[in-house]
Amino acid sequence: MWFDQSWLDLTFLHWPVRPDDVAHLYPPGIRPDVFDGMTYVGLIPFRMGYTKVGAGPALPYFGAFAETNVRLYSVDDAGRHGVLFRSLETARLAVVPAIRFTMGVPYTWARMRIARSEDVIGYDSVRRWPRRGLCSRVAVRIGERVEPTPLEIWLTARWGAHTRKAGRTWWVPNEHDPWRLHAAHLVELDDELIGAADVRLAGEPLRVLYSPGTRTRFGRPIVVAAGSVSQ
């Protein structure tokens, strides 16, 4: 076990994307993962409850913060399915260089707020660095518990992440408990992060989902491929 986290108050927003439109964004050794011929981009705002490294205690500053990530879906030649992050907003400035340097994950610094009133939860983010001023505002009304479709399971039950660091492509394995998912109604969406990630949408959004959260555990990174980036 490398480290574990709790992810809380997640909202899942997804749109279809043509694989050929985003293939150039993937580093060597991985490619767009597809479901019935399409891949997807996710906009996922949530709250990090805690982070623990090994058997140590929760990290009080680094481990708890708001986050909004833009992610694509990836697979490597060994058949390992994961996500490829295009950006991860966080309000914790110190997290940004630490995670960028150690894991190659594109964390960014933002002013963020999560607010809940009864069954409505809202997520606000304004980028501080880099590309200052990029905004994302999402608000949803949380509905009844639902059983996920096969596509929704494929999108949310991801067992790793692919990243690029030190001239190599890596796969970081993880495992998590089953999601408790609720249907959610989109109250407000004003987002600039997907466009800034150079992702072109190919259709209408999927059903919005909300989860109160789960615990996830990460293993040590595994090298997938070395060589120059193909972008």
Domains and CATH numbers, the chain: 3-226 (2.40.400.10)
* Most distant CA atoms of the chain, gap in Å: 51
Rounded to the nearest 10°, the torsion over CA 88, 85, 81, 218 is: -40
The candidate with the shortest Cα–Cα distance to 113, out of 95, 93, 90, 134, is 90
Give the residue ranges of the chain where pLDDT is below 50: 228-231
pLDDT of residue 54: 63
CB 136 within 8 A of CB 113: no
- Point out which residues pair with 31 in neighbouring strands: 75
How many angstroms from the chain centroid is the CA of residue 89? 10
Which residue is listed with tokens 């880099």? 130
pLDDT of residue 62: 59
The candidate with the shortest Cα–Cα distance to 168, out of 18, 30, 47, is 30
